[in-house]
A and B are shown apart, each in its own frame.
Chain A
Amino acid sequence: ELKVEQNPLFLSMQEGKNYTIYCNYSTTSDRLYWYRQDPGKSLESLFVLLSNGAVKQEGRLMASLDTKARLSTLHITAAVHDLSATYFCAVDRGTSGSRLTFGEGTQLTVNP
């Protein structure tokens, strides 16, 4: 059974600081997704990582995938308050029939 673990689960940081959220998963996969969820809202797709070594950047967020280490990171650069949200990683095995499994989510609060 595929397990996905995120850490930290709660992150409080100051504006302007950098930080990294980690996503570990238990079985072989080369397909990982990052989502953002604001309170009471849906999941917004941030990044789709489809191969080992994939790196994608959007604004102050950068995601990477190391399939050998079964690890993805979401790096936040110079955080701003608008980034406050819950961030989920999700993994599937990339084949029809595999289940998209979500991590527990990281609740990020950026303080002024």
Chain B
Amino acid sequence: DAGVIQSPRHEVTEMGQEVTLRCKPISGHDYLFWYRQTMMRGLELLIYFNNNVPIDDSGMPEDRFSAKMPNASFSTLKIQPSEPRDSAVYFCASSLRWGKSGYTFGSGTRLTVV
């Protein structure tokens, strides 16, 4: 298995632009999570899906953030418009049966908003 695949690995964008991050979970996993990692706040859960349905988006910082999962093998996290304080590493993770075998993280997208 190729693991959780995220793209792009790095993204540099100007303030105000739209940014879309992509994630392909491990095949067969029924939960997908989006996390953000910063030095100040550590690892924070933004949103998670179960069987493609968003379950808890209470960690999404603002309305500028949105996430979708149109099918079992693809999810996006969109920021529109982006701001410098959104600069962080965004991780996607997937799991089977709510983490009974653990949570597998992707390689992350390092986002820089200038």
A-to-B contact residues, CB < 8 Å = 31, 33, 35, 41-45, 48, 50, 88, 90, 92, 94-97, 99-102, 104-105
User: Nearest Cβ distance between residue A62 and chain B, in whole angstroms?
Assistant: 17
Tell me the bound Cα distance from A33 to B95 in angstroms. Answer: 13
User: Nearest Cβ distance between residue A63 and chain B, in whole angstroms?
Assistant: 12
Tell me the bound Cα distance from A96 to B51 in angstroms. Answer: 12
Complex interface residues of chain B between 38 and 79 (CB less than 8 A to chain A): 42-43, 45, 50, 55-56, 59
User: Nearest Cβ distance between residue A101 and chain B, in whole angstroms?
Assistant: 8
User: Nearest Cβ distance between residue A33 and chain B, in whole angstroms?
Assistant: 6
Q: Which residues of B contact A44 (CB under 8 A)?
A: 105
Q: Establish whether residues A50 and B42, one from each chain, have CB atoms under 8 Å apart when the complex forms.
A: no
Query: Across the two chains, which residue of chain B brings its CB closest to A46?
Result: B102
Q: Apart from A35-B105, A42-B107, A90-B103, what 7 extra A-B contacts exist at CB < 8 Å?
A: A41-B107, A42-B106, A42-B108, A45-B102, A48-B99, A96-B50, A102-B42
